[in-house]
Structure formats: C-alpha cells, structure tokens
Structure 1
Amino acid sequence: MRFIRLLMLAVLSFTLPAVQAGEEAAAMRLTELLSQAETISARFSQLSLDASGTQLQETAGQLVLKRPGLFRWHTDQPMEQLLVSNGEKVWLYDPDLEQVTIQSLDQRLTHTPALLLSGDVSQIRENFSIEYKEGGSVVDFILRPKASDSLFDSLRLSFRSRVLNDMQLIDSIGQRTNILFLNVKMNEPVDDGVFNFDIPEGVDVIQE
C-alpha cells in the first residue's frame, strides 16, 4: 500500500515496531514449544472441507516425528496411505494402487508442513509471518507464508498445556484441512529405521 499523506506515514512509523515485536514474541514462543520435543508420536484425525464447509474426506491414522526432518504419516484403511521421510527422501506408498512415489524431500517449510513439527525451528521466522494468542492453557499460532508459491495460505497450530493439540491448513481456494492430534507422546525413544521404507515386491515405482 502506498501512503500519500505524511500523517499516514507517521502512523505507520509508530505501529510497525509494535507489529515486529509481536512477531518476534510469537516466533520465540512457537520455537520454545516445538523445541521441547525431539520426538512426537500420536494418533490423528483429519477432516477436509471445501470453501463452503462441505465435507470432502475424513481419515485417521498414526504419526511419528523425530527432529530433524524425520517423519512417518500412516493413514488407516479404507484409504490407506503411507508417507515416510528419512530427512533426504520421501516415499509415498499407496497399497490400493500398488504404487510408491519417491522424491527428494523439499526442505521448504511452506511446501512440507510436516517439517514445521520435525524440522529446523530456526527457519520458521524466515518462512512465515506469525501471530499468536494465549489464554489459560491454550496457545494458538497463525502462520502465513511469505513465499508466493506456498501450498497453503495460512496454517494454525494449537497447543494445550504445552502439548500439540491440532492443526488447520487453508489453501488458496478456501479448502480447509483440520487435523486433531490424540494421545500425544513426546520424547520417547524412536528407532531411525521407522523412517525408512522397504519397497514391497511387485509394486510400481515412480521416481520424481
């Protein structure tokens, strides 16, 4: 926005430091909460809605995360899928299609939301503008990507009693994905072998 009047420019000069201070506080608070967990395991329930609020899909499953950059996201039947990353490669396995897609892990947080939970938290401030509000035991963060080619327009992360509770992503056409985390366990030992994938025999392999 262009400010023509000096008065409007003066208002900006007074309000901008307050906004920056708020973002700095939000980034520090989010970094503190994410950094407390080297590993996370949980059940999840995922609901996708279109812009009008009509349900598109509902799934559930199990996730395991380990810092830095390791994650395993297993969606239950009847829409079973397995997404696994060892920090370098990503495997997406679809048992119904008997197909696995392999690609290099996109290290951009705006393209791989799982890295927000398992990646380098120091990158968050570089990739997002951040707001937060805190009330009692609940802390909500709203993250908006700074890059124009992000896969989503906004992401909300919520913590309850310092434990990850839920996440919501909204894309450019208004579609929402709500993810609720259940039975969250932090800092329990996780073998790195969990984050590798052995390709079953007879499965089609697609390299990207």
Structure 2
Amino acid sequence: MRLIRMLLVSALALSSVNAFADTKDVARLTQLLEKSQTLSARFSQLTLDGSGTQLQETTGQMQIQRPGLLRWHTDAPQEQLIVSDGKKVSLYDPDLQQVTVKALDQRLSQTPALLLSGDVSKISETFDISAKEAGDVIDFVLKPKGRDTLFDSLRLSFRRGTINDMQLIDGVGQRTNILFTGVKANEPIPASQFKFDIPKGADVIQE
C-alpha cells in the first residue's frame, strides 16, 4: 500500500471467485466508511523500522468530514498540524515556523489520514482490497495498484463497525501503527476546524 496458473480453466475459475470476493469486500468497506460522515478521535501513533526498533511515538487529535476535510493535530513536543479543506493540504511545523501547502491531488489522497475522509467511490479504482473478519473485528488490507505510492500496504481495522486502528507498511518495511480512542461519529464539527490561517511570520512553501 505487487500465481502463475498452469491451466486456463483454473485461471478463469479463480479470477471469477476473486472478483466476487473483491466486490464484496469493497462494498463492505464502502458501507463502513460512508456511515460516518464525520469522525473525531484521539490517536496514538507508533513508528517502527524494519527490524522492529521504535523510531517515533506521538499522540494527537484528528477530525474528518467527508469528503476531503481533515484536521490532524500532533501534540507537543513533536507538534504538527495538517489541515485539508478538500482542495489543498497545509502542513504547519511550529518549531520551524514553516507552512507547506500542497494541492490535494490523487497521490496525496492516498495518504492514510486522508483516505478516511476521501471519496469512497474511488477507493477500488486505486487499491486492491481484501478483508478478514474475526468476531466483532474486521480488517481490510489495501494494496495500491499503481507504483507511485506512499506505502506498500495499509490495514484498516474496524471494531463493531467503528474504526479502531490502522497500520501502514512502506517499501523498506517501516511500520506505522495508529490507534484511535474516544471515537465519535456523525457529530457536528465546526467548519473553522478545516480552515487554516497562516501564522504571522511563518515561511510558506508552495508545492
């Protein structure tokens, strides 16, 4: 977030089964994402390298509103603020007094946080999706179809129909685990949360 079949008959049979499974999994993920038009939660984020060594641990607060609106605020001492208004994404680093502004293009919309608030109808165009269910937990694994991606795989985990955690694995095996707590769905979020005013004196980088 990439079987060689010996017999053509087997290939056709397997591809039909897989297509049905993919369609079913996509429909289930779509249903779970679309039922939450807004989400707010605390998060704890842990990043490990390929050997399992901890690289970084952060906490913060996230708010999303479908489609495309996001506020992702990481607590001090590694404070950062990411705000998406649906057209552009602003990343503010208070320590550097620097703001980076990027257009919300397809590659950016594939980032894990923005996936939660993105256009659900387009997810299956960009990812191969599979699901596994155990008890009240269902895990979806998303693997990008294209090569120009920010990760090799992404797991979204729902518990009793509510987003619980996600795991991102990149091309060098680095893992980022994000756990959500205090999740609130479909509660009003002020529009001001998705607007970013550039702080006075901050350097601005347009990309």
Give the TM-score, by structure 1 length. Answer: 0.95
Q: Is the 8 A contact 2:107 2:149 kept in 1?
A: no
Q: How many Å separate the matches in 2 of 1:206 and 1:199?
A: 11
Confirm whether residue 18 of structure 1 aligns to residue 17 of structure 2. yes
Structure 2 residue aligned with 1:198: 197
Q: Is the 8 A contact 1:49 1:175 kept in 2?
A: yes
Identity %: 60
Q: Is the 8 A contact 1:110 1:127 kept in 2?
A: no
Q: Quote the offset at 1:24 in angstroms.
A: 0.5
Amino acid of the structure 1 residue aligned with 2:154: L
Structure 2 residue aligned with 1:118: 117
Stretch deviating more after TM superposition (74-83 or 98-107) = 98-107
Structure 1 residue aligned with 2:179: 180
Q: How many Å separate the matches in 1 of 2:108 and 2:161?
A: 22
Q: Is the 8 A contact 2:109 2:118 kept in 1?
A: no
Q: How many Å separate the matches in 2 of 1:2 and 1:56?
A: 38
Change (3 A) 1:19 1:2: closer
Structure 1 residue aligned with 2:40: 41
User: 1:89-123: CA deviations, max 9, x gaps?
Assistant: 11110000111111111234663322321011001
Q: Quote the offset at 1:198 in angstroms.
A: 1.0
Q: Is the 8 A contact 2:48 2:54 kept in 1?
A: yes
User: 1:156-184: CA deviations, max 9, x gaps?
Assistant: 00000101000001001100000000100
Structure 2 residue aligned with 1:167: 166
Q: Is the 8 A contact 1:109 1:127 kept in 2?
A: no
Gaps of 5+ in 2: none
How many residue pairs get matched? 205
CA RMSD of aligned residues (A): 1.4
Structure 2 residue aligned with 1:130: 129
Structure 1 residue aligned with 2:100: 101
- The 3-state SS of whatever aligns with 2:63 is strand
Q: How many Å separate the matches in 1 of 2:121 and 2:33?
A: 10
- The 3-state SS of whatever aligns with 2:30 is helix
Q: How many Å separate the matches in 2 of 1:112 and 1:151?
A: 7
Q: How many Å separate the matches in 2 of 1:170 and 1:84?
A: 23
Q: Quote the offset at 1:192 in angstroms.
A: 1.5
- The 3-state SS of whatever aligns with 2:110 is coil
Give the TM-score, by structure 2 length. Answer: 0.95
- The 3-state SS of whatever aligns with 1:118 is coil
